[in-house]
Structures are given as structure tokens and as C-alpha cells.
Amino acid sequence: MRTKIITVVAVIAIVVVAYVLLRPPEVVNLKIATTTSLNDTGLLDAIKAQFEKENPYINVTWVAVGTGQAIQIGERGDVDLILVHSRSLENQFINGSYGVHGITIAWNDFVIVGPQGDPANISSAKSAIDAFYRIYNAGSSGEALFISRGDGSGTNVKENDLWKKAKVNATGGAWYIESGQGMAATLRMANEKQAYTLSDRATYLATEGENGFILTICFEGDMKNLLNTYRAILVNPDMFQNLHSKEAEKYVLFLVSSEGQQLIGNYTKNGQKLFNPAFGKLSQLGINDPYEENEVAYWKSKLQG
């Protein structure tokens, strides 16, 4: 009898161990707060498809808002990582100990789009600052409109910086309209009103193929003032409990891997290339950042490990 009991107990133990070992891991919902341009262009969907194929027990979810809002969500600990594009706001997030191991993953540039007739004649401007000054003059004279995001996004921060450098105050004029919306919606509004607006190149290229969209790039190429970099930043697990930091790190490792960087660089929409890979290339873009250099070394060591 005793032998039978031992046998039964042993069988039960084997079954329990087998169940524990063979049971598939629970699916983890990785939460990201990100800028609208990465969402509107479809890049995040492409990344999600490949990442989840290689990591089937991680479900990537995100909320697409302006960079300012995305950072606020990160500061509350409501997401595991952020993907944003405003260097000054990102640095505040990191310096406030809310974010760790920030790393630049992609870049493109901002462009100033407007009506085909270019009433402010910004196509002949010497710089983006000059272009904004011309828009201000044309707007003040009733010859042009400008649509601002007005939402604290990375694009809105860049726009405000350009007005400041042009030494003009655009707000308050009837010609200056705040959309309070994402980039694609702002572009459509500018198209409807035949107004100027500042856009990241990727969202413009992803939107220009829509029926009835006739805005054109009126000014581009001033990389000193129009460079647009995207950075992934882990939310600091020492600040918040219940973060999926391990899964967030896997996601960022994918982004900075040769596979992830190739996916970013090769991604197209409407036949247009929208982003460039940026991991380890910030100095080539004219930005010298000791913090970035340390983080490149950190993520490279993770890739090799």
C-alpha cells in the first residue's frame, strides 16, 4: 500500500513538473508611448509584425500622441518605454531619472510645406529661420496662413524654436491657427486651408499620396535647424513597480540590432523611403553627445552578450 502511495505521489509530481516546464509562458503586453509620426507612417506596425514573430509571447501595444504627452505618460510610469523626437524634452526626462538608456534609433528631417504658389516665397529663403520670418511677414499682411500642431509635440517644440530664432511672435494672429492634432491630421487641415505647416518628412511623404492632397515642400535641406532624430528610452524601473523592463529591453535591442536598423532603413510607404537608421551614427549627423556615446557602448555590449 505504501509503495502504491509513493508511486502515485511520484506520478503526480512528474505531471506537475511537466506541466510547469511545458506550459507556454503568459503573453506580456509591452506598453509604449510614442509620437504620431511613427504611428501614422505605419513603421510601428512593421516593427511589431517582425518583433512579435521572433518574440511570440510579447504583445506590443502603443498610444500615439505628441512627444510632450508621451513623456508625461512615461513620467507617470504608465508605459514601459517611450519613442519620441524632441532632444530637449528627452534630456529632461532622462535627467529627471524617469528614463534610462536612451538611444537614437532613426532620423529624417523636418520640411516646411505649403501651397504650390508659395505666397511667402520661402523656397528662396536662406535658412529655415528665414523661411519662418517670411511666413510671419506674409501672414501679418494677410497673404498666408500657418497651421501649428499646438500640442507640445516634438514638431511643435521645433516650430516654436524656429519662431524664437526668427525673433517674431506668431501666436495671436488670425493667420496662425493651432490644430491641436497629430501630424497627419494637421497636414490635412493645412491642405484644406492651403496653409503652411512644419512636418516631419516621413509623415508628409506618407500623406501626400492621398486624394486631393496638393501641398508641396516649399523649403527643405537646412539640416542645422531641421534635423529630426528619434530616440527610444526605457522608463526607469527603479522609479515604478510592475514595469515590463525585460521585454522593453528586448524591444530596444531589436531596434538597434542590424535587423532592426535594416528594417527602419528599408521601410517605405507609397514607394517613398521615410526613415534612416541612426544607431551609433549621431556624430555623423553633427551631434556630439557623450551620453549617447556611452549608451551606444551599452547597447552594443547587450547585443554581443
Q: What is the mean pLDDT of residues 6-10?
A: 54
**SS3 of the chain:** CHHHHHHHHHHHHHHHHHHHHHCCCCCEEEEEEEEHHHHHCCHHHHHHHHHHHHCCCEEEEEEEECHHHHHHHHHCCCCCEEEECCHHHHHHHHHCCCEEEEEEEEEEEEEEEECCCCCCCHHHCCCHHHHHHHHHHHHHCCCCCEEECCCCCHHHHHHHHHHHHCCCCCCCCCCEEECCCCHHHHHHHHHHHCCEEEEEHHHHHHHCCCCCCCCEEEECCCHHHHEEEEEEEEECCCCCCCCCHHHHHHHHHHHHCHHHHHHHHHCEECCEECCEECCCCHHHHCCCCHHHHHHHHHHHHHHHC
The pLDDT value recorded for residue 18 is: 42
The pLDDT value recorded for residue 195 is: 98
129 and 84 in a single domain? The answer is: no
Indicate whether 305 pLDDT > 90: no
212 and 286 in a single domain? The answer is: no
Q: Take residue 43 and report the three cell numbers written for it.
A: 513603421
The pLDDT value recorded for residue 120 is: 98
User: Which domain, by its residues, includes 203?
Assistant: 109-226
72 and 221 in a single domain? The answer is: no
Indicate whether 19 pLDDT > 50: no
208 and 241 in a single domain? The answer is: no
- Specify whether the CB–CB gap between 88 and 264 falls below 8 A: no
pLDDT tens profile 258-289:
999 999 999 999 889 999 999 999 999 999 99
Q: Take residue 6 and report the three cell numbers written for it.
A: 509513493
Q: Take residue 76 and report the three cell numbers written for it.
A: 507617470
The domain total for the chain is: 2
271 and 216 in a single domain? The answer is: no
Cα–Cα distance measured from residue 278 to residue 246, given in angstroms and rounded to the nearest whole number = 23
Cα–Cα distance measured from residue 266 to residue 89, given in angstroms and rounded to the nearest whole number = 28
92 and 232 in a single domain? The answer is: yes
100 and 238 in a single domain? The answer is: yes
For residue 94, the domain's CATH number is: 3.40.190.10
99 and 131 in a single domain? The answer is: no
pLDDT tens profile 54-68:
999 999 999 999 999
The pLDDT value recorded for residue 274 is: 96
173 and 150 in a single domain? The answer is: yes
Residue 10 covered by a domain:
no
207 and 117 in a single domain? The answer is: yes
Q: What is the mean pLDDT of the chain?
A: 93
The pTM for the full model equals 0.89
Indicate whether 301 pLDDT > 80: yes
Which are the contacts of 110, defined by CB distance < 8 A and separation ≥ 6?
Answer: 128, 155, 158, 198, 199, 200, 201, 226, 227, 228
Cα–Cα distance measured from residue 127 to residue 8, given in angstroms and rounded to the nearest whole number = 82
pLDDT tens profile 86-134:
999 999 999 999 999 999 999 999 999 999 999 999 999 999 999 999 9
The pLDDT value recorded for residue 16 is: 43
221 and 122 in a single domain? The answer is: yes
